[in-house]
Structure 1
Amino acid sequence: MSIQWTLIAAFLYAEIFLVLLLVLPVASPQRWQRIFKSRFLSALSSQAQYYFMILIAVLVLFFLDAIREMRKYSNPEEGTHQHLDAEMQVNMRLFRAQRNFYISGFALFLSLVIRRLVTLISTQATLLAESEAALKQARSATSTARSLISQTQSSAAQNDANEAHDKQVKALKEQVQELERTLNRERKDKEALKSQAESTNAEYDRLAEEHRKLQNKLTAVGGGDGEDKKDA
Structure 2
Amino acid sequence: MTLYYSLVFLLLVTEMVVFMALIVPLPFTWRRKLFTFISESPIIAKLQYGMKITFIFILILFIDSVNRVYRVQIELAAAHKSENRGGAAVLGGSERMEVQARKFYSQRNMYLCGFTLFLSLILNRTYVMILDVLRLEEEVKTLRGDPAVKGKGSSLQNAGNAGEIGRLKEELAAKDRDMANLKKQVEGVSREYNRMGDQVSPNDPTPKKER
Please indicate the TM-score interval, normalised by the length of the shorter structure.
0.5 to 0.7
- TM-score normalized by structure 2? 0.56
Superposed CA deviations along residues 113-132 of structure 1, whole A, max 9, x for unmatched, are: 11111111122112211210
> Does the C-alpha gap of structure 1 residues 74 and 58 become closer, same or farther in structure 2, counting only changes over 3 Å?
same
| Number of the residue aligned with 2:192 | none
Cα distance, 1:122–1:29 mapped onto 2, change above 3 Å: farther
CA distance in 1, matches of 2:66, 2:132: 36
Report 1:127-142 matches (<5 A).
127-136=136-145
Distance 1:22 1:66, change over 3 A: same
Matched residue, 2:67: 68
- Looking at structure 1, the residues matched to 128 and 143 of structure 2 have their Cα atoms a distance apart, in angstroms, of 22
Bigger Rg, which one: 2
- Say whether the 8 Å CA contact 1:29–1:121 is kept in structure 2: no
RMSD: 2.6
Q: 1:28 to 1:73 in 2, by over 3 A?
A: farther
The aligned counterpart of 1:125 is 134
Seq. identity, %: 24
Partner Cα separation in structure 2 for residue 12 and residue 100 of structure 1: 12
- Structure 1 gap segments, 5+ residues each: 138-232
4+ residue stretches of structure 1 with deviation over 4 A? 45-49, 77-80
Structure 1: distance between partners of 2:102 and 2:94: 12
Alpha-carbon deviations, 1:127-165, whole Å to 9, x = none? Answer: 21121011118xxxxxxxxxxxxxxxxxxxxxxxxxxxx
Partner of 2:155: none
Give the TM-score, by structure 1 length.
Answer: 0.52
How far apart in 2 are the matches of 1:41 and 1:81? Answer: 62
Query: Structure 1 pair 122/134, CA: closer, same or farther in 2 (3 Å)?
Result: same
**Greater RCO structure (CA 8 Å; 6+ sep):** 2
Q: What aligned pairs does 1:1-20 form with structure 2 within 5 A after superposition?
A: 1-20=1-20
Which residue is 2:123 aligned to? 114
2:22 is the counterpart of 1:22: yes
- Deviation of 1:20 after TM superposition, in Å, equals 2.0
Paired residues of 1:29 and 1:124 also in contact (CA < 8 A): no
Q: Structure 2 counterpart of 1:83, which letter?
A: G
Aligned residues: 136
Partner amino acid, structure 2, of 1:124: V
Q: Cα gap change, 1:82/1:125 in structure 2, threshold over 3 Å: closer, same or farther?
A: closer
Contact 1:29 1:122 (C-alpha < 8 Å) held by counterparts: no
Q: Is 1:50 aligned to residue 49 of structure 2?
A: yes
Which amino acid in 1 is paired with 2:43? L
Instruction: Return the alpha-carbon distance in structure 2 between the equivalents of residues 10 and 48 of structure 1.
Output: 16
Which secondary structure does the structure 2 equivalent of 1:85 belong to? helix
Q: Check the 8 A contact 1:66/1:97 in 2, yes or no.
A: yes
Q: Flag the structure with higher helix content.
A: 1
SS across alignment from 1:75 = helix
